[in-house]
Structure 1
Amino acid sequence: MDQKLSKDETARYSRQMLCPEIGKRGQLKLKSSSVLIVGAGGLGCPSSLYLTAAGIGRLGIIDSDVVETSNLHRQVLHSEGTRGAAKVDSAVERLQQLNSNVAFEKHPVRLTRANALDIIRNYDIVVDGTDNPMARYLLSDACVLLKKPLVSGSALRFEGQITVYNYDQDTPCYRCVFPEPPPAGTVTNCADGGVLGVVPGIIGNLQAIEAIKIAAGIAPAYAGVLLLYDGLSGKFRHVQLRKRKDDCISCGKTPSITTDLIDYEAFCGVTCAPPVKILAPEERVTVQEYSSVLQSKQKHILIDVRPQLQQDIIKLDNAVSIPLARIVKEDGVQMVQDLIDKTFTEPSEPKKVFVMCRRGNASQKATRELKNRLEEENVEIKDIIGGIEQWSTDVDPELPMY
């Protein structure tokens, strides 16, 4: 180790070098190490912030998204002034202000099986700040192939977790713990399930500690151990994970993933968010067409089938709340029938019902359910394409979205 600390670096890192576990030798190891942050979001922001402050030598950030207003409550590197900017640009601009001694590398792309190995091989440690199974399997397999430790974290609502995969010959990889992916559509991310902003902050900081320890030559606390955090109860729990599985297809004794990465969308049974197609085109209307119905004051019923929690945030003034779950399993169909009977009192008048959700998927399911089960005849039921998000984009840009 032939690197030296400058006068500025010595002063900057003096407090942590006073920790006997770090010292000057550990600080020099940090300076000579590199970390890749995958995702400049709720986990990647706090972890990269403290890795930069700690003096990691080289920090890479990979993210293909841009900064949005909904990011700002948890993605603390970004600001109101960087909305619309690439997240890697926003993050690095802030981090450079914190520590100019660190070399930053920006990767404004989505991590795929085509580029993962080429990007990851240039770093010593990988910090996973993603939020979907495809990315987790991809990162784990790539880190096993390249022999890189993977510091994995996740956060949802009030809960978070962290573990370190592939640290040594005993530490399991992600596939050892989850050999089969969850059924498609069953994994909730924070965009749909919500997250309290401070929770990914807590987990991201723990990820930074683990990465700093690995870089400084200190064994991580969570290699082979899963830490579970419950923000509501304030409790931490530790779960001991099993050691590597001999039959793991990635890190086992006779792995089948040996040179090339696999098709992770096919493995997880999903594609890149295709739109749901349940209804025929004539059973749907655009937001512009529904806007014309409103403006012409045609008598109709608008049903919002989003969960009540989402409707409490924002909904159209004339919408009636009947969540999809009630239509499918409870008394929702009867509620719609009662609305029709109350609204359309003349036998000959046209009976129009429109169904809205967040993005136009749940509304299709609700529309089909109503068409199949309503006893009312001569009623026209259509869903609104794109839901309230499309309404906000094309009809009422002042409508706040979540």
Structure 2
Amino acid sequence: MDRFERQVILPGFGPEGQARLRSASVLVIGAGGLGCPILLYLAAAGVGKIGIVDGDSVAKSNLNRQVLYGEKDLGKNKAETAARHFQEKYKDIKWEIFPEFITVENAQELISGFDLIIDGTDNFPTRYLVNDACVLQDKPLVFGAIYQHEGQVSVFNLGENACNYRDLYPQMPAASEIPNCSETGVLGVLPGIIGNLMALEAIKVLSVLGKPLKNRVLFFNSLTSQTYEVEIARNSNSQQSIPDTWQAFEAMDYELACEGIKQLTWDEAMRKMNRDVAFVDVREPGEMPPLECTGLMKIPLSTLSAQLDRLEDSEEILFFCQSGIRSQKAAQQLQQAFPDKKIFSIRGGINALKTS
């Protein structure tokens, strides 16, 4: 008995659909709350080649929703750990592992070898970056996102007259408008539901089954278990925001364009430690793990506005938090107060320190 028998006998799918999956390749960007269920069901369905892009490592706070990992995986790279799980489970899938974050420098090379791209990331700069790269290479893109009790799914750049992410969200949000799970919370089952819907859309596109969510966005509310759809149309103004060449794309600073704040990696930040630079931890007291370094100041974001005088004498200031979101907000707040200072946010926060 073939392990794909139950889907092969499905009317409308058949051996032809299975053959299409077997010959297809998918790149999953982000192996977190959305990426885990996506990978589980793409692998189970028999997609022939699957790539995983993620430079992050497994943290204990991930375990309520990132179901591929357990306590034994803490500190390990997510892309490598996820692939190892599947390599032991299925022998008939080709895995390509990229233990790094997608950037303007590597995006073209990463997505060029795959038929379909799935964006399972959790931040706006990367979403715009992935969208623009897919438009430049004419790659279909399955998109999903969650916020508190609601999730959304769509398929972008699929065939003629297709919409893309910028048609849905033409205006990049400011740092003060950017939420994340560490601040707003999430029930682990919601990214599971949305991730499964994303996997379903990918399978539909690859096997030519049914009607994918082209030019439509499906919204799901976990409190009411209700869904609704919104139709979207191409926006000529938003299309003009997409770089028209790879050279223009690689010159883009998506983080700066989206959040208005320049970001540094931990490697870049560490090289500044011997200079007259203030390192500011904006986490709340008791958040772990602690960090001790030269020039360290602890000013929680919630009290930053009342402690601006502590930073008056520092010409260069580097903010960090747990995941990199609060530090962007802190940097933006300080930039407004001190426009002449050099202010940075450390990308990924403490969670990225082990992988830098």
Quickly name the TM-score band, shorter chain normalised: 0.7 to 0.9
Q: For the Cα contact (< 8 Å) 1:165–1:171, is it kept in 2?
A: yes
Name structure 2 gaps, 5 residues minimum.
Answer: 267-277, 288-296, 310-318, 324-356
User: Matches of 1:94 and 1:246 in 2, distance apart?
Assistant: 44
User: Matches of 2:53 and 2:61 in 1, distance apart?
Assistant: 20
* Cα shift at 1:305: 10
Q: For the Cα contact (< 8 Å) 2:21–2:47, is it kept in 1?
A: yes
What letter matches 1:80 in structure 2?
E
Report the CA distance shift for 1:100/1:224 in structure 2 as closer, same or farther (over 3 A): same
Q: For the Cα contact (< 8 Å) 1:159–1:229, is it kept in 2?
A: yes
Q: Percent identity?
A: 38
Q: Higher relative contact order at CA 8 Å, sep ≥6: structure 1 or structure 2?
A: 2
Task: Deviation per CA, 1:46-77: give whole Å up to 9, x if none.
Answer: 00110000000000000001111111110011
Q: Among residues 240, 255, 261, which one is paired with 1:265 in the alignment?
A: 255
Aligned to 1:139: 130
Report the CA distance shift for 1:387/1:42 in structure 2 as closer, same or farther (over 3 A): closer
Q: Would you say 1:232 and 2:223 are equivalent positions? A: yes
Aligned to 1:173: 164
Q: Secondary structure at the match of 1:267?
A: helix
What letter matches 1:245 in structure 2?
N
Report the CA distance shift for 1:66/1:157 in structure 2 as closer, same or farther (over 3 A): same
Q: For the Cα contact (< 8 Å) 2:205–2:212, is it kept in 1?
A: no
Aligned to 2:101: 110
Q: Among residues 32, 39, 59, which one is paired with 1:41 in the alignment?
A: 32
* Cα shift at 1:149: 0.7
User: Matches of 2:14 and 2:125 in 1, distance apart?
Assistant: 39
What letter matches 2:255 in structure 1?
E
* Cα shift at 1:185: 2.6
Report the CA distance shift for 1:266/1:80 in structure 2 as closer, same or farther (over 3 A): same
* Cα shift at 1:121: 0.8
Name structure 1 gaps, 5 residues minimum.
Answer: 1-9, 276-283, 288-303, 316-354, 370-384, 390-402
Q: For the Cα contact (< 8 Å) 1:65–1:86, is it kept in 2?
A: yes
What letter matches 2:157 in structure 1?
N
Q: Among residues 52, 59, 79, which one is paired with 1:61 in the alignment?
A: 52
Aligned to 1:19: 10
TM alignment of 1:218-297, pairs within 5 A: 218=209, 220-242=211-233, 244-249=234-239, 256-260=243-247, 261=249, 262-268=252-258, 269-272=260-263
Q: Among residues 81, 93, 107, which one is paired with 1:90 in the alignment?
A: 81
What letter matches 1:214 in structure 2?
V
TM-score of the superposed pair, with normalisation by structure 1: 0.66
* Cα shift at 1:93: 1.4
What letter matches 2:244 in structure 1?
I
Aligned to 1:327: none
Aligned to 1:374: none
Aligned to 2:196: 205
Report the CA distance shift for 1:55/1:248 in structure 2 as closer, same or farther (over 3 A): same
What letter matches 1:264 in structure 2?
Y
Greater radius of gyration (CA)? 1
TM alignment of 1:287-366, pairs within 5 A: 360-366=300-306
Q: Among residues 111, 117, 122, which one is paired with 2:113 in the alignment?
A: 122
User: Matches of 1:45 and 1:228 in 2, distance apart?
Assistant: 20
Q: Secondary structure at the match of 2:217?
A: strand
User: Matches of 2:103 and 2:79 in 1, distance apart?
Assistant: 17
Q: Secondary structure at the match of 2:220?
A: strand
TM-score of the superposed pair, with normalisation by structure 2: 0.75
Aligned to 1:367: 307
What letter matches 1:51 in structure 2?
L
* Cα shift at 1:23: 0.6
Report the CA distance shift for 1:147/1:366 in structure 2 as closer, same or farther (over 3 A): same
TM alignment of 1:153-164, pairs within 5 A: 153-164=144-155
Q: Secondary structure at the match of 2:262?
A: coil
User: Matches of 2:219 and 2:151 in 1, distance apart?
Assistant: 6
* Cα shift at 1:131: 1.1
Report the CA distance shift for 1:285/1:108 in structure 2 as closer, same or farther (over 3 A): closer
* Cα shift at 1:387: 8.6
User: Matches of 1:165 and 1:44 in 2, distance apart?
Assistant: 18
Report the CA distance shift for 1:233/1:129 in structure 2 as closer, same or farther (over 3 A): same
Aligned to 1:28: 19
Task: Deviation per CA, 1:227-269: give whole Å up to 9, x if none.
Answer: 1111111111111112x22344359xxx652333122123212
Across the aligned residues of Structure 1 and Structure 2, the Cα RMSD in angstroms comes to 3.2
TM alignment of 1:377-396, pairs within 5 A: none
Q: Secondary structure at the match of 2:161?
A: coil
Q: For the Cα contact (< 8 Å) 1:55–1:102, is it kept in 2?
A: yes
Q: For the Cα contact (< 8 Å) 1:152–1:164, is it kept in 2?
A: yes
Of the structure 1 ranges 166-175 and 51-60, higher mean CA displacement relative to structure 2 is found in 166-175
Q: For the Cα contact (< 8 Å) 2:122–2:180, is it kept in 1?
A: yes
